[in-house]
């Protein structure tokens, strides 16, 4: 399964999220996931861990609950969902940007009960400005966590 790009946030350096984990819960199963990629804005160093993606077997139509620690909840973060309909046809990506700076949980649902979630990603952002002026500020992705869904065995 392909990983989603963290579209909507520009991937760049950030304050390092360290070993922060995101918890994904679905269909009676839980997995804690470390970042696939994380960057430090001060050093401009990025770390990638391609094997860090979590995996869960989830039936069609089942929601995915996400729980993030305060280090993520206190920053802007985004949820991106890739899914297919009951015929296996890819559907438009679902994205939601959370900017409340105090939201620790999110539930992913699909429009129809036979839709199958394939990938859920959480992207943490930092807001930076190259000039120091607020009007030049932009959100940049600082870390990405990914859940790769394994459909149930037929």
Per the domain annotation, does 35 fall within a domain?
yes
Identify the domain containing residue 45 by its residue range. Answer: 22-150
Strands 22-26, 64-67: pairing kind: antiparallel
Residues whose CB falls within 8 Å of the CB of residue 116, separated by 6 or more in sequence, listed in order = 58, 60, 61, 83, 84, 86, 88, 110, 149, 151
- Tell me which DSSP letter residue 90 carries: B
User: What's the sign of the alpha-carbon dihedral 64, 65, 69, 75?
Assistant: positive
Q: Does residue 105 form part of some domain?
A: yes
Q: Is the pLDDT of residue 26 over 50?
A: yes
Percent of the chain with pLDDT over 70: 87
Residue 131 in any domain: the answer is yes
Report the pLDDT value the prediction gives residue 152, as an integer from 0 to 100.
80
Predicted confidence (pLDDT) per residue in 134-151, tens digit: 787 777 888 999 999 997
| DSSP string for residues in 40-79 | ETTTTEEEE-GGG-EEEE--TT--EEEE--HHHHTS-EEE
Q: What is the pLDDT of residues 90-138, one digit of tens each?
A: 999 999 999 999 999 999 999 999 999 999 999 998 777 778 787 877 7
Q: C-alpha dihedral over 42, 8, 106, 15, to 10 degrees?
A: 0
Per-residue pLDDT at 1 exceeds 50: no
**Digit-coded pLDDT (tens) for 79-88:** 999 999 999 9
pTM of the model: 0.83
Number of domains composing the chain: 1
- Cβ(41)–Cβ(126) below 8 Å: yes
Tell me, yes or no, whether 7 lies in a domain.
no
Q: Is residue 41 part of a domain?
A: yes
User: Is residue 116 in some structural domain?
Assistant: yes
pLDDT at 125: 86
Cβ atoms of 4 and 80 within 8 Å: the answer is yes
Would 106 be classed as within a structural domain?
yes
Q: What's the pLDDT tens digit per position in 32-58?
A: 999 999 988 777 788 999 899 999 999
Question: Is 104 part of a structural domain of the chain?
Answer: yes
């Amino acid at each position: 399964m392909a990983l989603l790009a963290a579209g909507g946030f520009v991937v760049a350096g950030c304050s390092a999220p360290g070993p922060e984990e995101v918890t994904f819960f679905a269909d009676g199963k839980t997995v804690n996931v470390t970042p696939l990629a994380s960057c430090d804005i001060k050093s401009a160093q990025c770390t990638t861990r391609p094997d860090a993606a979590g995996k869960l077997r989830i039936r069609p139509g089942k929601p995915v609950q996400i729980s993030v620690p305060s280090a993520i909840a206190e920053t802007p973060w985004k949820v991106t969902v890739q899914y297919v309909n009951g015929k296996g046809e890819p559907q438009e990506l679902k994205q939601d940007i959370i900017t409340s700076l105090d939201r620790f949980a999110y539930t992913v649902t699909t429009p129809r009960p036979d839709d199958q979630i394939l990938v859920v990603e959480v992207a943490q952002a930092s807001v930076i400005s190259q000039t120091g002026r607020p009007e030049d500020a932009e959100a940049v992705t600082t870390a990405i966590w990914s859940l790769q869904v394994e459909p149930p065995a037929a």
